[in-house]
Chain A
Amino acid sequence: MTAAVDLKNVVKRYGPVTALHGVSLAIADNEFFTLLGPSGCGKTTLLRLIAGFEDISEGEIRLFDKDIAGLEPNLRPVNTVFQHYALFPHMTVLDNVAFGLKMKGVDPVARRARAGQMLEMVHLSAFADRFPSQLSGGQQQRVALARALAPEPKVLLLDEPLSALDLKLRQAMRVELKQLQEQTGITFIFVTHDQEEALTMSDRIAVMSAGRVQQIGTARDIYEAPENRFVADFIGETNLLQVDVAAVREGRATVVLPGGKQIVCPASGTSSGRHNLSIRPERLTISDNADLMATVERVVYLGTDLQVIAHLDSGEPISLRLQNAARVSLPEPGQRIGLHLEEGGARLLAD
């Protein structure tokens, strides 16, 4: 099967700055693909390369098997929803949405009809004759979406489109975006630094850091099986413990926990020696069947959850999440507790 977008060892340099160091990605047709990473890691740069606003410095970039390196942006069947929308301020909402169709030579009657349909799809039919400055942020965002979808691109690029909206609207838009993607069948490449956004919407996620792709996988893959320390730390919360690795065989490692207990857990690396063990806070329970011994420092009330902040006997900090169920007893600060590690709750990281 040919990929919608296929990047091979793409390098992008701005003078002395290297923004992307050899990125390889294959994004499937109809996929909701997310680029997730902290600010400055090269997400926007990657989108700009796909849209054609910048040329790649090295490597290969293909769109449905066609080499598009050096192709002008207006010749690529790719549309973008810009971070700050970039709606044309001197045109009405309808003219904004019809712009791409006009440039493609669609006749006025047909393009008005199609733009009208697009506005209906994003629930803004009543605003067709307004100017962008007369709309709220959320409405502008939907106009930008309608404008980018109207010419029926093969790939839609979205650069942190929800970051300027308030929380409630952001949550509603997540659902709406996902539905739009399924409805239209267009490949979405979605950029965000918000891991929750990435986890809830994406078919697959590429976690990026410092111009490199760290891991590609489904939400479940990258959450449950982070390959390195960056991914484990960036996605969700995690406890990182330095442990001695006794043996590694067939992707499973035998490690010695602080306190001496040995466990077997999945491993991303294969070497023995001293490595980081990632333990998700919600995979720890307070139990007499203890793998680790700790002393409680604080209990933080988070509504649905309780966060227990503690330190191990060896001094390392550790935190756990307990569901806020009707509990007989809550741990008290200063109390010594035994921590039980659920099966598959820990993972040995390569670095």
Chain B
Amino acid sequence: MKIELSVNGERKEADVWPGESLLFTLREKLGLPGSKNACEQGECGSCSVLLDEKLVCSCLVLTAQAQGHEIVTVEGIAEDDRLHRVQEAFVQTGAVQCGFCTPGLIVATVDLLAHRPEPSDDEIREALSGNLCRCTGYQKIFDAVRLAARA
């Protein structure tokens, strides 16, 4: 079936299998593999995107449900050629190792700071509890969020 949606401010069209997830469509049909496919069951947050400005797991959105809606993926976070301050903070603090969790965490952190510009440590932990990272033990990710909040 044909689906039309807005991704990172651009109108996109895709021909999808009706049971297809938004994650699959973004990655395999729209050339946006930045959102990651670590579990496809909502448990890891690596596929996090903004759907009409809400943080969601794109693996749990049926592509057909995104018809006519606005999606922002990790590819749409940087401003022109400049890294977003959240991205810059992840680079600076060493919050990236294998990086598979990173795109989801970038989107989740951007969402957190949009609602809570100065989150407490507890708020950071709770807000990011849906984004699993297997490499870093989260310490440097928390550092990155704190740094981005200050920036």
**B is bound to A:** no
Partner-A contacts on B (CB < 8 A) = none
